[in-house]
Structure 1
Amino acid sequence: MEYGVVVRWWLFFQVLLVAGLPLAARLLPNAPDRGASVAMPLSLVVVTLATLWVGQVAFGQWVVVALFVLFLALSAWLARGGVEVDARPLAEVVAVFTVAFVFLVAVRAAADGVHPYGGEKFLDMGLVQSLLRGDRLPPQDMWFAGERVVYYYGGHLMTAIGAHLTGTEGRFAYSPALAGFYAMAVTGVYGLAGTIATRFWDGDESEADGGRVQAVTALGAAGVAFAVVLLATGVHWLLLAVPAAFVVAVVTRSRRVRAGVLAAFAFGFASNLVTPVRLLASRSDLVREAVAAAGIKSSREPTITPDAFDSWDASRIVETGINEFPLFAYLNGDLHAHMMSVAVLVLAVAVGLAYYRTPEGARRRRWALLFGGFPVAAAAILAVNTWSFPSVAGLAMLSVALADPPPGTLLPERVAHWGERDSAVAAELQRYALAVVVAVVVTVLGLAAAWPFVRSVLLSGASNQTPAALPEPSQLGAFVLAHGVFLVAFAAYLTARIARTRLGWAAAGLAAWGALLLAFSFDPVVGGTRVGIVAAVLAGPLLAAAWVLRRRDEVGFEGVLVVAGAGLVVLVEYVYLADAASYERFNTVFKVYAQVWALWTIPAGAAFAALASRAPSRSHARTVGGTALVAVLVVSASVYGGLALTAHFGSADDATIDAFEHVNDERPGEAAAIEWLHDKPGQPHMVSAPGVEPYSWQNPASSLTGIPTVAGWVHEANYHSQAAWDQRVSDVGVVYETTDAASRAALLSKHEVRYVWVGPVERERYDVARMADEPGISTAYATPTVVVYEVNQTALTEYRT
């Protein structure tokens, strides 16, 4: 195990924390931790955007070090008067980050390195390695030699920045970088949920004890949850005893810590309800029939037993989409955009919360947050995960629309009075219109702040995505299992804000059952096309309730986030982006649902904290009931994690964060040649068999080393163009098979090839010609498995002339 590397990366993130505090404290001056929970991503975003601009001219370790030193100097200048942060909240931030970081490092150390199966690890590793080899941005495309990447590489750039600053090779940077992105996200949701929970309404929280649940109540509720889930699922008792004990420890804490820890749990460990419900279905015919009738993906059985558990299944129950959740994604181990962008999305949430809490009279601060903070977050997330860019603009819109100050007060007084409306309806419509205008301005400013990325990637790549409408709708069962934890938590929380009597709760319960029956029984067809209503019927009321309660000041900023997530869930039921890489809305659901989970974990922490609370105005029965509900949801959402981690660590061999572990263990002959290539400086071009069958063992050398190959995975047909990809595939075939040395030489010169890789895939696919005796070509490295030919372009040119 490479402990020194892990320690260096942990220290790197602590430097980001300290350096980001002066800015974070200005962003969230009234937060208990003064914004410390988002200081790390804030620092990383600033450094990355600066690197994005400078990198168009020069990029490398010294450039990154120089920019980072400049950022540290700026931070020191901002902190010249001191930054006051209470020791306890700051220590909590460090502790939460450290626990999450160490947890995921352990997960990665027990994994088998980087491989192409079941994910995008080859793509992600290749991008990081290409960046570390490159001397300017965008990096050279490791699967399309001679061309620049036309893919959102911002998160990989952040990884490369960390690797340069810690002096880490890419093969060892992959895992601690992934752990850092995970830990920053967990820490961010912890801090923001705790900050939101410090403001409750109607006096239902006791300031003296923070609404802590008494130990006896917590033990009883956790015991009931433990027994119910144990009997329902049949998993080993120890897997449920730990989360039950976790509930007891958490609900007896203050409301801030309770909300923060439960939000961190919801993001960092919780799963959807697929696993516990399918386990229950195997023990109950009634549940099995209900799951089958409600509908899940056709390739998934409604039942499962603990012995037949497969960690993959829970992320694939939506018929036309991927319903990943964070624990699945980070266990799978891709260093992919939708996982790296969460920390930036959380930072955007922090900007929205800061705007929401800024008084009406602080006009300059409100302007700075809207047209400074949001565009910076938008620019960063555009480069990290372009799919999330609209969500930042949407957060800006909702923050303005649902905050207390009228948007018109952003304008100078001599202008604002022109927009005053006597009608309440007109004033409300004006509020939303101005919020849309703000979103448009944020979008434009975000594009401008990330212009190097826009110019070199968004405007340069092949556009294979087109808007489409009315996809195959979600089935009731799949939708409820994917979002059920949040749907139940938010429904109970919002109901608690308005239901003051048992009659009110009974009415809410009947309404919920009515919505389920409507979604189950009504399947409208318009013009021959099925129009889904499941999301509208189940998530729509949450959106409407949260919106109305926020405008009535019955809920706080958590209501804004409930609206944001529910809006995205409903949106993808009706519109999506069709692309050549996937079927119908498959990719849209994947990318959007990942954002929904991240957005909803923060208000979920606040909702859990409010439901599990002891308050003077609440009856003992409501306290017990709310605590029991939280306990059941937490324990149920932990079943997947217990089973998945048991299987993950049970199959581990040696502990290492070396990305080359898989190839070293499984393909030593190829590993030796890859190690040889890995030591070569720069980015000389190579030829290898194109990856026409993705997610299989193809293009290992270019993917693991960052040395560009002429034609890599078939993904490049989407990134560049189908015609260009096809031409390169044809060229590669000629290079391997032609008996005409002149034709081979012409193509090797055309693509400026330095190395020709002949491994198992190449031998299987092509009738590889003898090349070593041809002018300009010699055997550079050979194992019983792989031969690497070296091409002398000078000798090749002389031969051709």
Structure 2
Amino acid sequence: MEYGVVVRWWLLYQVLLVVGLPFASRVLPDAPDRGASLAMPAALVLVTVPTLWVGQYAFGTWVVVGVALAVLAASAWLARGGVEVDRRAYGEVVAVFSVAFAFLLALQAADQGVYPGGGEKFLDFGILQSLLRADRLPPQDMWFAGERLIYYYGGHLMAAVGALLTGTEGRYAYSPALAGFYAMAVTGAYGLASTIASARSGDDEPVRQSTALSVAGVAFAAALVALGVSWWVAIVPAAFAFAAVTQSRRVRAGVLGAFAFGFASNLVTPVRLLAAKVPVVRDAVAAAGIQPNRDPTTTPETFDMWHASRVVENGINEFPLFAYLNGDLHGHMMSVAVLFLVVGAGLAYYRTPEGERWRRRALVFGVLPVLAGTMLTVNTWSFPTVLGVTALSVALADARPASLFPVVDRYADRSLAVADEVQRVVVGVVVAGLVAVLAAAAVWPFVWNVLLVGASSRHPAFLPDPTRLGSFLLVHGLFLAAFAAYLVARVARDWRDWAIAGLAAVAAVAFGASFDLTVAGVGLDMVAVALAGPILGAAWLLRRRRTVGYEGVLVVAGAGLVILVEFAYLVDNALSGRFNTIFKVYAQVWALWSIPGGVALASLAARRPSADRLRSAAGTAFVVVLVVSASVYGGLALSNHFGSMDDASLDGFEDAHDRYPAQADAIEWLNDKPGQPHITSAPGLEPYTWQNPASSLTGIPTVAGWIQETIYRGDEAYWTRVSDLDILYETEDPVSRAVLLRKHDVEYVWVGPLERERWDVAEMADEPGIAPAYRNEEVTVYAVNETELVETRN
């Protein structure tokens, strides 16, 4: 285990916390932690955006250090009068981050490093390595030598910034960077949920320990009997729930929000475990519909961590624990910390009085564009969500949106409630549009060099195959149940209101299961509209009536996304239908909903002065059952993960050395070469397998890498290069080979098992300008001296 790397990166994040705090405290001055929970990603954004601009001309350690020192100087200037932060709140931020950071590092240490199967690790690691070798931005594409990367690389740039500031090799930087993104997101969820909850009056009393202990004990016993899991899989979350609900409202909300993002799963696993024991549940799951190749039942012995993320028939329904456990350093995982910064800025706007017009303008036209632009570079899929959160924050704040523009405000019609709501929405959308323009300007080099180049391969489409009732409930049921109970609790007067709400929920499920809408000859199931629609409408209405706070804005945002993808999606060349849209949007919904999820659960698990003990116990039981149910997956997955652990290491090359030792030795030799010399290797026509390991693990560009390059470059460009490689490796004509080596500016020719399997490799060692530079029992690497190659005619 590389403990020195761990310590350096942990210290880096603590420095980011200190540097980012003066900025974050200006945005959220009245938060209990003064914005400390968002200070780390704030500092990282402030370093990354200028680096993106400067990097167009030069990139490397000294550029990053120079930008970091400038940000440090700006932070010191802002903090010249001191930044008052409650010591306990600050300590909570450090503790939450440290626990989450250590947790994910433990997961990474138990894994086998960077490997091609089951995800995007070869892509992500290759981009990181390419950035660390680059002398300017964008870096060269490690799978398309000589061309710049056409991919959202902002998150990888953040990881590279951390690696350069800590002096960490890419092979060791991958894991602490991933752990940092995870821990920053968990910390952000904690801080935002606790800040939102602290603003509400009432619901302040924690549950009595006797009540919480009784409820947790019953839930533990019920889980053992109903699910058939090991005792510790149930007792640990039951104990966690007991500890959480007996805390103050602020801490309760923060802890449950962090849990909802960092460890909770959907309801697939507990329901399938229950279905294995209760036939009626099995029949109900089968009838409601999940992905056809998924059995409605499972057992602890047959549990597979992948199943819970693959129940939607035409999409991937990932949730954070699965994603981080799988261990990709991918955009939808790195972008959560930035998304939570957007939520923080939206919350700041929401809490700013109408009279402070210039502060509100600074937030929406100063802070949010920088964050939105950063999101463009980290995960372009999340950019519309950022604009949506912006529009909703403006539309649903108490301050009138039109007051941002005095000229417009003069003519605003507020005589009718409906007109006022429409005006709020229209102005919110206009503000979001302006933010989008300013965001593009903030990161224009990325927009010009990457976004506009690759945008032509994507277009919107409408009316996809809908999500079935069973899949929808299993994937979103955890949050839908929490929000429904919370919203009803805000307005319910007695048991009659709860009974009416229960009947309405049953009717909504029945409606979604039985009613189809036909549009343009296409049948649409109304599952999302029937189940998420009422949640959206109720949250909007109660927010406007000031019955709920900013948590209502986030509930609306998530519900809107869930409904939207049932009617529209983005077509790309990566996967058919709305497969990718479901994947990327559901990940954002989970992140957005984890914050109000913590607020809702904290409110439901509270002792109200006006409530009797039975009502308090019922709310507590509801929360504990949800926590235990959402934890079963994590218990089983962690047991399997650590059960297969070999050596604890953060080395990204571990899998290569374990499975392909001779090739790994050659990769190590190549990895020591500076810069980005071009190599040739067999094209990766079977992605997610051991293809193009040399370029993927070193960041040194190969002429034609994984076939995914057809998505970004087009078929003709990619297959022309593949044809060039066919000739280069097999031809007996030195002149033809020299032409192609010069064409692609090749410095090394890689000949390993994959190359010999694809081609009858010609003997080229005796040709001028080509000589063996490295050789072992499996791999030969030829060095190419272009000036000594045989002469060719122009």
Q: Does TM-score exceed 0.5, indicating one fold? A: yes
Q: CA deviation at 1:521?
A: 1.8
Name the SS for the 1:307 alignment partner: coil
> Structure 1 residue aligned with 2:723, among 723, 727, 730?
730
Q: What's the secondary structure of 2:464's corresponding residue? A: coil
Alignment correspondent of 2:7: 7
Residue 531 (structure 2) aligned to one of 538, 541, 544: 538
Partner of 2:128: 128
Whole-angstrom CA distance in 1 between matches of 2:684 and 2:54: 33
Corresponding position: 1:40 with 2:19? no
Cα deviation 1:316-336 (Å, max 9, x = unaligned): 000110000000000100000
2:118 aligned counterpart, secondary structure: coil
Q: Distance in 1 between matches of 2:760 and 2:191?
A: 60
Root-mean-square deviation (Å): 1.1
* Residue equivalent to 1:235: 229
SS of the aligned residue for 2:571 comes to strand
Structure-to-structure mapping, 1:133-532, within 5 angstroms:
133-201=133-201, 204-205=202-203, 210-412=204-406, 416-461=409-454, 463-532=456-525
For 1:229 and 1:567, the matched residues in 2 are separated by 33
CA distance in 2, matches of 1:777, 1:57: 33
Give the structure 1 partner of residue 618 of structure 2.
Answer: 625
- Cα offset, 1:523, TM superposition: 3.1
Q: Which amino acid aligns with 1:588?
A: T
Superposed CA offset, 1:568-624 (max 9, x none): 000000100011110100000000000000000000000000000001022222211
SS in 1 for 2:768: coil
- Structure 2 CA distance, aligned partners of 1:70 and 1:693? 45
Aligned to 2:749: 756
Among 570, 576, 583, the alignment partner of 2:576 is 583
Contact residue 153 and residue 384 of structure 1 kept, 8 A:
yes
Matched letter for residue 753 of structure 1: V
Counterpart check, 1:72 vs 2:72: yes
Contact conserved, 1:471 with 1:574, CA < 8 A, in 2? yes
Distance in 2 of aligned mates of 1:228 and 1:530: 41
The letter for the 2-side match of 1:36 is: A
1:199 shift after superposition: 2.1
Please give the alpha-carbon distance, in whole angstroms, between the structure 1 residues aligned to 2:475 and 2:329.
23
In the aligned structure 2, how far is the partner of 1:713 from the partner of 1:467?
26
Partner of 2:659: 666
Query: What SS does the corresponding residue of 1:531 show, helix, strand or coil?
Result: strand
**For the residues of structure 2 that align with 1:782 and 1:669, how far apart are their CA atoms?**
10
How far is 1:230 from its partner? 1.7
| Aligned counterpart for 1:678 among listed residues 662, 668, 671 | 671
Given candidates 706, 709, 712, the residue that maps to 1:716 is: 709
Q: The residue matched to 2:143 in structure 1 has which SS?
A: coil
Alpha carbons 1:129, 1:706 under 8 Å: kept? yes
Aligned residue identity for 1:245: A
Q: How many residues align?
A: 794
Shift of 1:462: 5.9
The amino acid that maps onto 2:341 is: L
> Any conservation in 2 of the 1:378–1:392 contact (CA below 8 Å)?
yes
1:742–1:800: 8 Å Cα contact kept in structure 2?
Answer: no
3-state SS, counterpart of residue 668 of structure 2: helix
1:176-208 deviation line (CA, Å, top 9, x unaligned): 00000000000000000000001225xx32xxx
Cα distance in 2 between the residues matched to 1:455 and 1:167: 31
Alignment partners' CA distance in 2, 1:225 and 1:402: 38
Tell me if the contact between 2:413 and 2:419 (Cα under 8 Å) persists in the aligned partners.
no
Residues 432-459 of structure 1: CA deviation (Å, up to 9, x unaligned): 1111110110111111111010000011
For 1:42 and 1:637, how far apart are their aligned partners in 2? 30
By how many angstroms is 1:645 displaced?
A: 0.4
d(CA) in 2 for partners of 1:53, 1:568: 32
Say if 1:255 and 1:701 are closer, same or farther in 2 by CA, change over 3 A.
Answer: same
Assess if the C-alpha contact under 8 Å between 1:558 and 1:603 holds in 2: yes
Q: Secondary structure at the match of 2:277?
A: coil
Q: Is the 8 A contact 1:462 1:721 kept in 2?
A: no
8 A Cα contact 1:113 1:660, kept in partner: yes
Letter in 2 for 1:681: P
Q: CA deviation at 1:529?
A: 2.0
Deviations 1:699-754 (A, max 9, x none): 00000000000000011111122110111111111111112221111111100001
Q: Distance in 2 between matches of 1:432 and 1:220?
A: 47
| In 2: Cα distance, 1:286 partner to 1:427 partner | 49
Bigger mean CA deviation after superposition, 515-524 or 168-177: 515-524
Unaligned runs of 5+ in 2: none
Aligned partners of 1:421, 1:469: CA distance in 2, in Å? 35
SS at match of 2:313: coil
Which amino acid in the other structure matches residue 550 of structure 1? R
SS of the equivalent of 1:757 reads strand
Aligned partners of 2:241 and 2:627 also within 8 Å = yes
Residue in 1 that maps onto 2:21: 21
**Does the 8 Å CA contact 1:152/1:384 hold for their aligned counterparts?**
yes
**Match of residue 781, structure 2, among 772, 781, 788:** 788
In the aligned structure 2, how far is the partner of 1:273 from the partner of 1:424?
A: 39
Q: How far does the alpha carbon of each residue in 1:401-420 deviate from its partner, in whole angstroms, 9 at most, with x for none?
A: 100111122234x7632324
Q: Residue 709 of structure 1 aligns to a residue in which SS?
A: coil
Taking only the aligned residue pairs, the percentage that are identical comes to 67
Q: Is the 8 A contact 1:462 1:718 kept in 2?
A: no
Q: Is the 8 A contact 2:131 2:160 kept in 1?
A: yes
AA aligned opposite 1:19: V
User: Would you say the 8 A contact 1:462–1:720 is kept in 2?
Assistant: no
* Letter matched to residue 330 of structure 2: H
| Partner in structure 1 of residue 563 of structure 2 | 570
Deviations 1:465-501 (A, max 9, x none): 1110111100100111011100100000001011111
Change (3 A) 1:781 1:799: farther
Counterparts of 2:790 and 2:161 in 1: how far apart (Å)?
Answer: 38
Residue pair 1:749, 1:797 contacting (<8 A) in 2 also:
no
Shift of 1:279: 0.6
State the Cα distance separating 1:768 from its structure 2 match: 1.2
After TM superposition, give the deviation of residue 67 of structure 1 in Å. 0.4
Shift of 1:797: 5.5
Structure 1 residue 527 displacement after superposition = 4.2
Instruction: Report the Cα distance in structure 2 between the residues aligned to 1:590 and 1:536, rounded to whole angstroms.
Output: 19
* Paired residue secondary structure (2:411): helix
Looking at structure 2, the residues matched to 526 and 153 of structure 1 have their Cα atoms a distance apart, in angstroms, of: 39
After alignment, is 788-797 or 457-466 more displaced?
A: 457-466
